Structure 1
Amino acid sequence: MRKVIVTTAGRPDEESFQLAKQISEELHVRYVPRKKRSVAKIGNLYQANVIVAGKNRFEYYAKGSSTPFFFHPDTAAFRLKRLERGETEPFIESCGLQPGDSFLDCTLGIGSDSIIASFTVGESGKVVGVEVDPIISFLVRRGLKEYKTADPVLKQAMERIQVIHAEAVEFLKKQPDSSFDVVYLDPMFEETIEESNNFESLREVGSHHPLTEEWVKEAYRVAKKRVVLKAHFRSTHFEDLGFERKVRLTSKFHYGVLEKN
């Protein structure tokens, strides 16, 4: 794992100190006093990525970057509103999710798609998100439980998600056959989507694992209904790995579906 340290906000209060010490102990990363230094200076001095424990949230900076990764619902908030109005959602249509279904997100990231899945499957369903990077896993797990929102529907959808820190293929190998209705794969895009600033901050600090035949094979075994892939529209993964591509003419990413026989 890359070197990571944790520090406080620029003007830390007692809460910031306590949060920094807590994450230091839980993730076994070094705590470094802020001493009025910039995050960039601390990152360069210790040659490390930097977690900043602020009063309201954690921010995670890649070494040399001025744009942090932090948890927030991202696109899930307005996508959920559209669903509540009865509008369609390409992700849900591709997954074919129904209330009570079980959904396994093998590449959780910030969790936006899993939030939408959680809303759709409801209290009787189950959503599990697997994240290989231990820092991202920690920040998203905390964020899903603690993010402040006045929207009770969004809050409940976030709180129902179970976050597991694991490598996706190894996790899949431990699951029984047909144990999740839908298995979802959303590896880091091979190409940048320029307008997605949040994705870029995640790209800088996250772990990059290319999609493999073994990964798809294990996902297919674990899925009861289908495996769904999200990838850049130029990706050859759809055709190379046997997915039926769902073309979206106005979008830079497409979904692919691998139905169970």
Structure 2
Amino acid sequence: MVMEKPSPLLVGREFVRQYYTLLNKAPEYLHRFYGRNSSYVHGGVDASGKPQEAVYGQNDIHHKVLSLNFSECHTKIRHVDAHATLSDGVVVQVMGLLSNSGQPERKFMQTFVLAPEGSVPNKFYVHNDMFRYEDEVFGDSEPELDEESEDEVEEEQEERQPSPEPVQENANSGYYEAHPVTNGIEEPLEESSHEPEPEPESETKTEELKPQVEEKNLEELEEKSTTPPPAEPVSLPQEPPKMHQESCSFPT
């Protein structure tokens, strides 16, 4: 009877069940899942602050796992993905929570590449293992929120800041230029169209004269009326110009 080949998802789920059960209860035997060509990397940084490097082979992986001091581990698996890969292998991705030595739970992501072990059907070993804690990858999200809030505050301050008042120019400079002066006498305005025509005062005065005024006085008044009084300087408005705004077995 030929054994049916399990699906990648069945292989992945069975592996996850066995692996994390051993991690929680007997982590010193975890190295049995690996082979001499396996690689293992566990997230974190070394003493110099550099990211941890991968270790290779079952023996080195065993020492690495022991150095991590797994004790009283509690694992909660939230999600498992498994897909077929090259040479009948299976790639498994796990996401969940891990508490070690009574510490608070931390979110983690772990990826395994399971490779067939020899000619034994449906038997796999861990060829690659990559583990990372989420907070080591993404860090704390609060600084990003702080930067956004600072940007909002700056925008509010810019909105509240009053716009500078327009510079008020000399009221007279937008309307006319200074008149040239010659010999200390100001020349009369050339724009006669803007001057009010002087009203002849002679007619008014003559109307007010009584009929009894002598002819001589009338002649004197007529001579005076021929010379109009000097035009008074035009007073311009003082308003400034307007500006617009904008399933399977495993080694144990």
TM-score of Structure 1 vs Structure 2, range by shorter chain: under 0.3
TM-score (norm 2): 0.20
Which fold has the larger relative contact order, with Cα–Cα distance below 8 Å and residues 6 or more apart in sequence? 2
**Could you tell me the TM-score, scaled by structure 1's length?**
0.20
